[in-house]
Amino acid sequence: MAADTVERELSCVSCGAVNEPGSKYCAYCGTLLQVKHIFPAVEKAKVSFKRVSVGFVLFLTIVTLGFYQALWAFFRRKAFNQLNVSETISDWFALMPLVLLVASFAVSGNESDLERILGIATWILWIVLAFKMRRMLREYVAGFADKDFLLNVAPSSVMTFFFTFFYIQYHINRLIDIGVFKRAN
């Protein structure tokens, strides 16, 4: 990669032996040593995201009847806005899905057209917000990584459309795991 360096872990994950720098395979058991990417431009970054299991996000979304998903988007907006990319997420835009969801629940029960309209508007806002977050992640990573690495950051529009914030959280977790973002929790 152009802007980062790739290093192999010296400790073998299989047997725990410490290997010589530059080794590709463990000298003791033959296991392929894990690759670790180091991003010098990002090490100084102060962007931190909360790492949350996607399964836990799904569980909380189901248990709270969708409210957690709306809260997830609202509370992540500050971290996304710290990425210093061309887009930002305004407070009102991140809060609108929650407001529409509350309004939808307030008029629920009578199966009115208003309830359906509010539900559809909430769903559309979630999708728009998820795509905005996807663009922001991709633009941030494009600032220091090459195209091959960028292809692995939220590459699928279809997955973003169908899985919205679950897909975004999955890629946030991946970026935390490889050291692009600091872990907030």
Reply yes or no on whether the pLDDT at 1 is more than 60.
Answer: no
Asked if residue 57 lies in contact with residue 42, where contact means CB atoms within 8 angstroms, the answer is: no
Reply yes or no on whether the pLDDT at 36 is more than 70.
Answer: no
Cβ–Cβ contacts within 10 Å for residue 14, how many?
A: 13
Q: Among 4-8, 32-36, 132-136, 164-168, name the one with the lowest average pLDDT.
A: 4-8
Q: Which two tokens stand for residue 22?
A: 């530059």
pTM of the model: 0.75
Domain boundaries, the chain: 1-38, 48-183
- Average pLDDT of span 137-154: 85
pLDDT at res. 7: 53
One DSSP character per residue, 123-141 reads HHHHHHHHHHHHHHHHHHH
pLDDT at res. 140: 92
Determine the Cα–Cα distance for residues 35 and 81; give it in Å rounded to an integer.
30
